[in-house]
């Protein structure tokens, strides 16, 4: 052991700086302090936030995903409802980029379909002689972009007369990838809209209750307690059952959003209330009151910003709950209904034991659900850490 | 096995020529009881003239006794499948749907109105007590005619034109039911999957009857069985449709040994069962039937892992591929039988819907024809049934002697142009900017179709039909509600259109009553209120005001007066022709297939057959008591 240590008095065999060590160097660095002092709160949060790599990447992932829902029609190779009855239960198709050792334009093989009359299963075999090069920025199924104007441009289409089922097809021959892309539009926005709604309700009701207290607070608290004690699934079912069947899919969608938002605001309202109870005793509130500010101004201008960051973080963590809520409702058959398509709807169609055993690709919509939920959780985590940069 | 079979065969060949069929070896299952002397010999247990099932003549092989048959059920109430499957009836259908005596030794019908039943001498209930005309008399005098047990009076099926039958006991083994007018529905009703009962084990049931039991003992029994009145006690203890009382003697092949609540229901062979095979071996071959309760969703999964030896309920055509693939992994075999419904998915526009405009439209034959013509049945058949079904209107199947190709083809082609023309003519010519039709009063023509949501098949067919209807400017919305709620709303006229199965019995013979073709029950979702009217003997519901429906009602009335098979066949023809022309129910595809899973060791299960509730009583007419196990290799 002692062989590793130099003899007493002998020089160390590695370099040792003899500059005096100042443990408070960073804190005392006037330049940096000046930057930190001048930086806005947002900027500080951003500095803090980007150190959380997981949260950063999750955020980027979510931005990308949310961007795709703006152009679902363009990204999906097929229309949401187009059925290809010659290709039922087709498994995912591989895309090749090499042919004879050469890098070529991506292509797929054509497929021969046979029905096994013994097991009644569709068998698909690649036909290596039938090369179907993919087309990009091409004209395919017609759609109405955002229901506004007709178009038929797609990012990628199969060759003329060919097929492109990257994630296979379901029992009616519909492309699973296209449906998943369209499903994202519903599943992702329902979370955001639901949270917005519960946000507005939570801040207004919780804010008033916390700031004014008294009878109003008492009533709100009891209402919240009652709402929270109702089991959520039956409550959802009851509310979802109220929505008439003849409503157009868009109205049903808004209805479900309202249902989810209506049930979710209670937790947020409580958080806001308790924060306000503490903050309203602060001197600056008193100062504002003495200067004659109205309560709406005091709440909105002075109190809410004090814990806005916290609210944003908690909202981010609520969105996954909303998405799961929608998925669960649709899965139980009481949420959205076909022809509207969400990830929950897609999973409902894939819940039989047959699917799991024979056609597992129909379970693919689970993947985006998991990824998005995880991303939101990481993002929320990062935001919460970054929320209070002065800590 | 060979040796045992050979032994049996030798025994049988020795026994067959004479009348002493009962010389065949007795069941090893009863060995202990026989040795202890608590069980009489086979000869004493069998009726003097048992019903001999000639398996050789049926193209099957006589087998050996023994083994346990495992089946899966979706809930405790599903023990009711046992009496349906085992199909021991006073009279019953055979495989070719000919009516013949089963529990009865013989019967005679005079003038179509006098029914004389001869019982088998020495026939015994499963507890060993004699089965005689006394049991019929008990049921008639103490149940049918008892106002506490039957508040509504004698059941409809024992009445003709509101007049109840005359019941006579001629001797210990002969009873007679007679009316003043013909009663052609009487025998088929006894052969139904859930028959009209005519007898109860009197010796056992008297203890629960106020006329035969002291009130204090009865009160004590009521308390013990947790019921409030003796009538309920009697009803509970005598329930034959759902064998929940292990003490109730039966005439079926298997006796219940388990009282609910339970997770597993065990049925054991009835030592006094009245059927034997041609070798004199007493049926059933299988000693025990074990029903395991599981949830409906996982019956398929469990069946596909070999946990059922005979499964028909709880599995469906979409499960076939999974089951067939499991064949290679487990000792099981899957066959496909044809379902007997007139159409496997049927749209039923409600002619009694509460909305005046829609009711008017649905009562207009042009609308119903257009709704039928708009459907592309070829696509449905291809996508859902792999092209194995038959595109057809909701009518009888080719297997029925009453079938005519024009019934199946009536308004069943895919002709959107004609459908559009018919709808235009019916007052739906106005459209909104999206091309959707508007009702005469300006509302959009949205059809809400209700489904019990129990099968994905239904949902898929509806999805296809939604597109077909969109092409003729009608929008279809599906609403899923739970079965019972759905039915009660339908009875209230609140359901606009429903999706259900077609005719219950798609393979009728002229001798089966055409009840299903005319309003007769509130579960006929195309006219629940009219059906209620006739079901309740005109006390509730409303009388139909549609000329063609009234015609059906009067034809059904005529059928009930018929004496000859020709008259019956003619009435069936007339009714089917009206149904085909009027499209009261909109069929899609019939002859759909039903997977039947059996253990690969189980013999005598037909590979191809008809499957349905009526008239085959699920597996009933194929005699599950003749299914037997090969020895394990």
Q: Is the ipTM of this complex over 0.85?
A: no
Q: What is the mean pLDDT of chain B?
A: 89
Q: Do A357 and B325 touch (CB under 8 A)?
A: yes
pLDDT at B82: 94
Q: Any idea which of A305-314, B160-169, B251-260, B514-523 has the lowest mean pLDDT?
A: A305-314
Greatest C-alpha distance within chain B: 87
My answer on whether omega of the bond before B98 falls inside 30° of 0, hence cis, is no
CA distance A96 to B416: 43
Residue B204 has pLDDT above 90, yes or no: yes
Among candidate residues A77, A81, A79, A70, the one with its CA nearest the CA of residue A339: A81
CA distance B47 to B106: 13
Range of the domain at A292: 178-387
CA distance B201 to A248: 60
Residues 6+ apart with CB under 8 A from A354: B300, B318, B319, B321, B322
pLDDT at A338: 66
Give the residues across from B115 on adjacent strands.
B109, B177
Structure tokens belonging to residue B15: 């026994």
The CA distance from B616 to the nearest CA of chain A, in Å, is 26
pLDDT digit string (tens) for B574-606?
999 999 999 999 999 998 899 999 999 999 999
CA distance B186 to B159: 9
Q: Report the half-sphere exposure of A344 (CA within 13 A, side-chain side).
A: 25
Q: pLDDT band at residue B478, thresholds of 50, 70 and 90? A: confident
Structural domain count of chain A: 1
pLDDT digit string (tens) for B505-546?
999 999 999 999 999 888 889 999 999 898 888 888 889 999
Residue in chain B lying closest to A355 (CA): B322
Mean pLDDT by runs of 10 across the 391 residues of chain A is: 71 80 72 69 80 90 93 89 86 89 88 86 88 88 83 87 88 90 88 86 87 87 87 74 70 78 83 85 88 85 78 81 79 69 82 83 90 90 73 49
The residue ranges of DSSP E strands in B332-474, in sequence order, are 332-339, 346-349, 390-391, 446-451
Q: Indicate which of B315, B321, B448 best probes the interface with A, i.e. most A CBs within 10 Å of its own CB.
A: B321
Q: Apex CA B145: angle with CA B140 and CA B148, to 5°?
A: 125
Q: Do B325 and A352 touch (CB under 8 A)?
A: no
Residues counted in chain A: 391
Q: pLDDT band at residue B623, thresholds of 50, 70 and 90? A: very high
- Please indicate, yes or no, if residue A98 is contained in any of the structural domains: no
Nearest-CB residue to A354 (from B321, B382, B448):
B321
Instruction: Please give the average per-residue pLDDT across B85-93, as a whole number.
Output: 94
CA distance A374 to A21: 43
pLDDT at B238: 92
Q: pLDDT band at residue B15, thresholds of 50, 70 and 90? A: very low
Q: Do B383 and A172 touch (CB under 8 A)?
A: yes
pLDDT at B13: 38
Residues 6+ apart with CB under 8 A from B58: B95
**Chain A residues within an 8 Å CB radius of B318:** 171, 352, 354
CA distance A225 to A229: 6
Q: Do A120 and B478 touch (CB under 8 A)?
A: no
Q: What is the CATH number of the domain that holds A351?
A: 1.10.3720.10
Among candidate residues B482, B490, B485, the one with its CA nearest the CA of residue B541: B490
Per CATH, domain B346-590 is 3.90.870.10: no
Please tell me whether residue B593 adopts helix, strand or coil conformation. strand
Q: pLDDT band at residue B287, thresholds of 50, 70 and 90? A: very high
> B61, B473 in Cβ contact below 8 A?
no
pLDDT at B633: 65
- Count other C-beta atoms under 10 Å from residue A338's C-beta: 17
Q: Which residues of A touch B (CB under 8 A)?
A: 81, 83, 85, 88, 115, 118-121, 171-173, 245-246, 333, 337-339, 349, 352-354, 357-358
Among candidate residues B439, B461, B434, B459, the one with its CA nearest the CA of residue B375: B461
**Residues A352-355: contacts with CB under 8 Å, at least 24 apart:** A352/B297, A352/B300, A352/B318, A352/B456, A353/B297, A353/B298, A353/B300, A353/B301, A353/B304, A353/B319, A353/B322, A354/B300, A354/B318, A354/B319, A354/B321, A354/B322
- Compute, in degrees rounded to 10, the torsion defined by CA atoms A253, A257, A263, A269: -170
CB contacts < 8 A (A, B): 65
Structure tokens belonging to residue A24: 């408070």
pLDDT at A390: 54
CA distance A389 to A36: 10
pLDDT digit string (tens) for A89-101?
999 998 988 888 8
The CA distance from A227 to the nearest CA of chain B, in Å, is 26
pLDDT at B2: 41
Residue B5 has pLDDT above 60, yes or no: no
**Chain B residues within an 8 Å CB radius of A173:** 383
Please tell me whether residue B282 adopts helix, strand or coil conformation. strand
How far, CA to CA in Å, does B308 sit from each of A93, B294, B301, B427, B628? 37, 12, 10, 55, 15
Among candidate residues A76, A347, A70, A73, the one with its CA nearest the CA of residue A188: A70
Instruction: Please give the average per-residue pLDDT across B278-291, as a whole number.
Output: 93
Instruction: Please give the average per-residue pLDDT across B63-77, as a whole number.
Output: 92
10 Å CB burial of residue A363 (0-12, 13-18, 19+) is middle
pLDDT digit string (tens) for B46-63?
999 999 999 999 999 999
Instruction: Please give the average per-residue pLDDT across B489-512, as a whole number.
Output: 88
Alpha helical stretches, state H, chain A: 25-28, 30-38, 41-50, 53-68, 72-75, 176-212, 214-229, 232-242, 249-279, 283-290, 295-297, 308-331, 343-348, 353-358, 366-387
CA distance A258 to A94: 41
Among candidate residues A321, A325, A281, the one with its CA nearest the CA of residue A302: A281
The CA distance from A313 to the nearest CA of chain B, in Å, is 39
> B350, B362 in Cβ contact below 8 A?
yes
Residue B564 has pLDDT above 90, yes or no: no
pLDDT digit string (tens) for A110-151?
888 888 888 888 889 988 888 888 889 988 888 888 878 888
Round to the nearest angstrom and report the end-to-end CA distance of chain A.
Answer: 44
> A188, A62 in Cβ contact below 8 A?
no
pLDDT at A204: 87
pLDDT at A27: 66
Residue in chain B lying closest to A340 (CA): B477
Structure tokens belonging to residue B2: 């060979």
Q: Do A246 and B477 touch (CB under 8 A)?
A: yes
Give the residues across from B597 on adjacent strands.
B311, B334
**Burial profile A115-146: b = 16 or more Cβ within 10 angstroms, e = fewer:** eeeebbbbebeeeeeebbbbbeebebbebeee
My answer on whether omega of the bond before A339 falls inside 30° of 0, hence cis, is yes
CA distance B447 to A17: 86
Among candidate residues A181, A172, A170, the one with its CA nearest the CA of residue A363: A170
CA distance A172 to A350: 13
Residue in chain A lying closest to B378 (CA): A85
Structure tokens belonging to residue B323: 């089951």
pLDDT at A389: 55
CA distance A192 to A194: 5
**Burial profile A82-95: b = 16 or more Cβ within 10 angstroms, e = fewer:** bbeeebbbbbebee
B210: contact with A, CB 8 A cutoff: no
Tokens 């013949």 -> residue: B100
**Chain B residues within an 8 Å CB radius of A337:** 478
- Please indicate, yes or no, if residue A345 is contained in any of the structural domains: yes
How far, CA to CA in Å, does B314 sit from each of B294, B301, B310, B319, B584? 10, 10, 11, 10, 29
């Amino acid at each position: 052991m002692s062989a590793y240590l130099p003899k007493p008095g002998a020089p160390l065999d590695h370099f040792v700086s003899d500059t005096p060590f100042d443990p408070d160097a960073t804190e005392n660095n006037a330049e940096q302090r000046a930057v930190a002092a001048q930086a806005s709160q947002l900027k500080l949060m951003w500095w803090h936030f980007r150190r959380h790599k997981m949260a950063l990447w999750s955020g980027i992932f979510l931005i990308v995903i949310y961007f795709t829902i703006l152009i679902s029609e363009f990204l999906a190779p097929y229309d949401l409802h187009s059925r290809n009855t010659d290709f039922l239960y087709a498994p995912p198709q591989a895309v090749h980029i090499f042919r004879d050792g050469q890098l070529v334009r991506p292509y797929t093989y054509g497929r021969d379909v046979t029905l096994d009359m013994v097991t009644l299963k569709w068998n698909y075999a690649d036909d290596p002689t039938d090369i179907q090069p993919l087309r990009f920025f091409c004209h395919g199924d017609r759609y109405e972009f955002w229901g506004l104007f007709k178009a038929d441009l797609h990012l990628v289409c199969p060759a003329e007369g060919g097929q492109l089922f990257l994630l296979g097809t379901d029992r009616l021959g519909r492309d699973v990838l296209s449906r998943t892309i369209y499903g994202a539009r519903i599943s992702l926005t329902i979370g955001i809209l639901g949270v917005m709604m519960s946000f507005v309700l939570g801040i207004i009701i919780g804010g008033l209750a916390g700031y004014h207290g008294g009878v109003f607070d008492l009533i709100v608290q009891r209402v919240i307690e009652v709402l929270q004690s109702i089991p959520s699934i039956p409550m959802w079912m009851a509310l979802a059952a109220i929505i008439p069947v003849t409503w157009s899919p868009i109205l049903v969608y808004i209805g479900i959003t309202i249902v989810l938002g209506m049930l979710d605001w209670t937790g947020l309202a409580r958080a806001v209330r308790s924060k306000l109870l503490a903050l309203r005793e602060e001197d600056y509130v008193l100062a504002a009151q003495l200067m004659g500010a109205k309560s709406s101004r005091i709440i909105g201008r002075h109190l809410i910003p004090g814990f806005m960051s916290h609210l944003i973080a908690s909202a981010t963590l609520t969105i996954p709950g909303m998405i799961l809520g929608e998925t669960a409702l649709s899965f139980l058959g009481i949420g959205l209904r076909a022809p509207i398509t969400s990830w929950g709807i897609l999973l409902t169609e894939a819940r039989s034991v047959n699917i799991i055993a024979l056609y597992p690709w129909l379970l693919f919509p689970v993947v985006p659900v998991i990824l998005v939920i995880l991303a939101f959780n990481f993002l929320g985590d990062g935001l919460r850490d970054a929320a209070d940069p002065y800590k | 096995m060979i040796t045992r079979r050979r032994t049996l065969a030798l025994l049988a060949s020795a026994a067959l020529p004479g009348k002493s069929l009962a010389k065949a070896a007795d069941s090893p299952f009863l060995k202990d009881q026989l040795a202890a002397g608590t069980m009489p010999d086979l000869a004493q247990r069998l009726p003097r003239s048992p019903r001999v099932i000639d398996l050789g003549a049926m193209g099957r092989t006589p087998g050996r006794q023994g083994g346990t048959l495992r089946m899966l059920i979706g809930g405790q109430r599903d023990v009711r499948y046992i009496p349906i499957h085992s199909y021991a009836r006073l009279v019953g259908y055979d495989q070719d749907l000919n009516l013949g005596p089963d529990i009865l030794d013989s019967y005679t019908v005079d003038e179509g109105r006098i029914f004389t039943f001869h019982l088998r001498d020495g026939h015994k209930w499963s507890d060993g007590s004699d089965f005689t005309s006394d049991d019929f008399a008990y049921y008639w005098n103490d149940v049918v005619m008892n106002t506490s047990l039957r508040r509504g009076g004698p059941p409809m099926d024992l009445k003709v034109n509101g007049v109840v039958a005359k019941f006579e006991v001629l001797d210990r083994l002969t009873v007679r039911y007679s009316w003043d007018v013909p009663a052609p529905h009487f025998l088929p009703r006894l052969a139904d999957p859930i028959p009209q009962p005519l007898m109860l084990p009197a010796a056992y049931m008297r203890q629960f009857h106020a006329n035969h039991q002291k009130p204090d003992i009865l009160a004590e029994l009521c308390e013990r069985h947790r019921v409030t009145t003796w009538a309920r006690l009697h009803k509970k203890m005598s329930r034959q449709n759902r064998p929940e009382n292990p003490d109730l003697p039966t005439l079926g092949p298997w006796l219940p040994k388990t009282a609910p609540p339970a997770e597993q229901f065990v049925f054991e062979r009835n030592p006094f069962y009245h059927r034997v095979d041609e070798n004199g071996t007493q049926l059933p071959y299988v000693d025990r039937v074990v029903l395991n309760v599981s949830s409906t969703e996982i019956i398929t999964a469990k069946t596909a892992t070999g946990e059922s030896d005979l499964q028909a309920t709880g599995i469906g055509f979409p499960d076939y591929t999974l089951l067939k693939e499991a064949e290679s992994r487990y000792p099981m075999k899957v066959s496909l039988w044809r379902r007997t419904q007139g159409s496997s998915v049927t749209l039923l526009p409600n002619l009694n819907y509460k909305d005046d405009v829609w009711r008017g439209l649905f009562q207009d034959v042009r609308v119903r024809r257009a709704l039928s013509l708009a459907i592309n049945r070829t696509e449905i058949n291809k996508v859902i049934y792999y092209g194995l079904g038959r595109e057809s209107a909701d009518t009888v199947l080719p297997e029925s002697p009453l079938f005519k190709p024009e019934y199946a083809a009536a308004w069943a082609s895919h002709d959107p142009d004609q459908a559009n023309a018919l709808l235009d003519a019916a007052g739906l010519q106005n459209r909104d900017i999206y091309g959707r039709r508007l009702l005469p009063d300006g509302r959009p023509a949205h059809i809400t179709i209700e489904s019990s949501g129990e099968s994905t098949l239904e949902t898929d067919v509806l999805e296809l039909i939604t597109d077909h209807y969109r092409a003729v400017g009608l929008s279809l919305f599906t609403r899923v509600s739970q079965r019972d709620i759905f039915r009660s709303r339908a009875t209230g006229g609140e359901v606009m259109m429903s999706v259900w199965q077609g005719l219950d019995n798609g393979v009728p013979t002229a001798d089966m009553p055409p009840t299903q073709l005319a309003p007769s029950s509130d579960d006929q979702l195309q006219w629940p209120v009219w059906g209620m009217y006739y079901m309740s003997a005109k006390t509730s519901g409303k009388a139909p005001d549609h000329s063609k429906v009234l015609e059906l009602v009067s034809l059904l009335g005529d059928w009930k007066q018929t004496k000859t098979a020709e008259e019956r066949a003619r009435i069936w023809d007339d009714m089917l022709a009206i149904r085909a022309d009027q499209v009261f129910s909109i069929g899609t595809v019939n002859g759909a297939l039903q997977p039947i899973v059996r253990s690969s060791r189980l013999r005598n299960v037909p590979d191809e057959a008809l499957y349905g509730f009526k008239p085959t009583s699920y597996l009933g007419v194929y005699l599950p008591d003749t299914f037997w196990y090969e020895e394990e290799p």
